Amino acid sequence: MAQRETSEFLAHLEAENAHALDRTEHLRGLADELYEELRSRVRETDLSVPVRHDRWWYYSRTVEGEQYAVDARVLVAEHPDRPVLDGDTPPDGEQVLLDANAEAAGHDFFAVGASETSPAGDLLAYAVDVAGDERYDVRVRRIGTGEVLDEAVTGTGGSLAWSLDGRHLFYTLVDEAWRPHQVWRHTVGTSQHEDTLVHDEPDERFFVGVGASRDDRQVIIAIGSKTTSEYRILDAADPLGAPRVVAPRRSGVEYDVEPVGDLLYISHNAARPNFELAVAPLTSTSADDWRPLEVTAPEEYLTGVDGFEDFLVLRLRREGKTTLRVLARDPAAPTGLGEAHDVALDEPIATIALGLNPQTRTSTVQVVHESLATPSTVSDYDVATRTLTLLKQQEVRGGHDPDDYVQRREWATAPDGTAIPISIVHRRDVRADGTAPGLLHGYGAYGISSDPWFSVMRLSLLQRGWVFAIAHVRGGSEMGRGWYDAGKLAAKPSSFSDFIACADHLRDSGVVDPDRLAAEGGSAGGLLVGAVMNQAPDRFRFVSAAVPFVDPLTTILDPSLPLTVIEWEEWGNPLADPAAYRLLKSYSPYENVTAARYPALLVTTSLHDTRVYATEPAKWVAALRHETRDVPGAAPILFRTELAAGHGGQSGRYRQWRQWAWETAVLLDLTAPRPRPAAVPAAVSAAVVVTGAAAGAGGT
């Protein structure tokens, strides 16, 4: 199976697909019903909240029946107020930037990496992937006429940045292991062979990206491993110059930069695990220039900073929740900053984030919040008056009232005594009497937090009386940077025991029916649920594993594979460290398959996924089939591969909806209530015992 390009392997995947569809043929009607439910709740022709940049309102819109969005703009002079749809008709004077439906014609898969308008606003550069392998080809078009000016640059990592004059593009290239490792400068209208190498990163632990500052005046090159980072800045008005290092990399020190005028605001962990904020001159080339700004407490996790002319917005995590903190910029103050305040939300477990804010000179910022019950809501936040003005809330057709649902945070106790947060939502009339089916979601890796999010798809489960829960296991960053460190490398097993503890909490507290609890996880979350299946096969009735990282030992032993070397700082290096080898082998889902009574299993993957090769789930499923072939009453194993997709699955919303509907139909079918055994009269029960004893004494 390591030879994933062979016709034999492809035939194997196709046979598994045929088997999965054959085994679920009886679910066709239910899948169609779920698809129509979802479609009935979505406004298919819609317009995003227009965002002003320079002379234009920028937005994207969708059209009923079309798979992809259309990116467009209109002049502010012609639309002083934010434009809206007139019925289903686009705003007058619209200029189409990118119609992904037209671009995707003839392709089974289509995705856009970066899409950047030139500083003058006359050109659009965008990177497209038509295979799902995350290698992007770049196109440049003149917006006013739609004329394609350049298609020379191919095989990029997907990130782009313009020079200030709009004559040059900066982009990344990937190496054979799919690692973005170089930044190149391209002159629009010339051959890629004439491009100039700007940065080459030889250390295989580091990825490279390129972008621009909010005011387009700086080209920013980001270089980072899992534990160390370095930034280089180039004046976008001098694109032929050499980028300067903000601060040379130091092992274990991570930092991020935000240029604002002639200053750099830096969030870093040089002296505080949860990061802190510093300021330095824009021309700084050493961490010695960083002046600390005491604007966060040690227990607050600073995840980023956005800078504007008159204020800063800090992105924080505190007590497991997201927070935005606004600080006025005051040149007269000793620190250059004035009063601070936090943006408050009146929901117990909501997620808040900054939206699109391309303007540096502004008195308001776009804020987005949502929860497990509240649809995504976009508001303007007035920094001076500290008030939110609703711009748009995600529409749920047919009606949706968040008050019809209960959402809350509960805490499970891990084996080492650590309290693990669980976010829970269910319909208000669902009681904790041990009868409700439940779905537990988990990820727990790379410091990525699984913050509560709203899902129209999830409503089909909630309306059927399901409980949905998120296990915020260690390995994410929900409770601060230490939460991540406590679930990686040698501490990785904590992620698995945390997830089991969350399942036990839901079962033991009566929140869910112990016989109808399901689990789901994707990518590194697939490793999570796969490891948990081996360690506690009786906890779940059904498990869904999407593009699952289930053969980590084999993968991380091969430095030629995508992501492997950079992953050593997450999982350990089994080539150099015997302890890391033993630990990975001890929890690898593939390495630990036994003849157990596993839960029913749905495994999905994508043929062109370059992050987790399809060989991993294929090997895992084959091992499971082999080991459980003689297990009485073994639960079904279904394996489906999307043959034109990448790590995120299929492209195109209707195809994604169909995929979700089928997967949800499988979930509902394989967690359906089992018939309860009828009560047996005492006399009959005694006779059965006697008969059984006699049979055991005398023969078969």
- Catalytically active residues, by annotation: 523, 609, 647
Whether the CB-CB separation of 153 and 171 falls below 8 Å is answered with yes
List of E strands, 46-175:
46-47, 51-53, 56-62, 70-75, 95-99, 111-117, 123-129, 137-142, 148-150, 156-162, 168-174
State the SS3 of 148-181.
EEECCCCCEEEEEEECCCCCEEEEEEECCCCCEE
In the sheet with 311-318, reading across from the earlier edge strand, the strands are: 301-307, 311-318, 321-329, 337-342
Q: Report the alpha-carbon distance of residue 113 to residue 121 in Å, rounded.
A: 19
Residue type, 344: A
Sheet containing 542-546, strands listed edge to edge, beginning at the edge strand earlier in sequence: 405-413, 419-427, 467-471, 438-441, 517-522, 542-546, 600-606, 637-642
Record the tokens describing residue 664, joined without a space: 């949800």
Q: How far apart are CA 677 and CA 515, in angstroms?
A: 14
What are the Cα distances from residue 102, in Å, to 96, 99, 160, 283, 654? 11, 6, 22, 44, 16
Separation of alpha carbons 609 and 134, rounded Å: 8
Q: Which two tokens stand for residue 475?
A: 């390995």
- End-to-end C-alpha distance for the chain, whole angstroms: 42
Is the CB of residue 123 less than 8 Å from the CB of residue 149?
Answer: yes
Q: What is the 3-state secondary structure (H, E, C) of 557-569?
A: CCCCCCCHHHHHH
Spatial distance between the Cα atoms of 426 and 433, rounded to a whole number of angstroms: 13
CA–CA gap between residue 73 and residue 183 (Å, rounded): 30
> Where do the H-state alpha helices sit in 511-652?
524-535, 552-556, 564-571, 578-587, 615-627
If you ran DSSP here, which 8-state letter would residue 35 be given? H
Q: How far apart are CA 83 and CA 64, in angstroms?
A: 19
Task: Give the C-alpha separation, 83 to 76, whole Å.
Answer: 9
Q: How far is CA 101 from CA 91, 111, 123, in A?
A: 19, 11, 20
Phi, psi of 289 (to 5 degrees): -85, -10
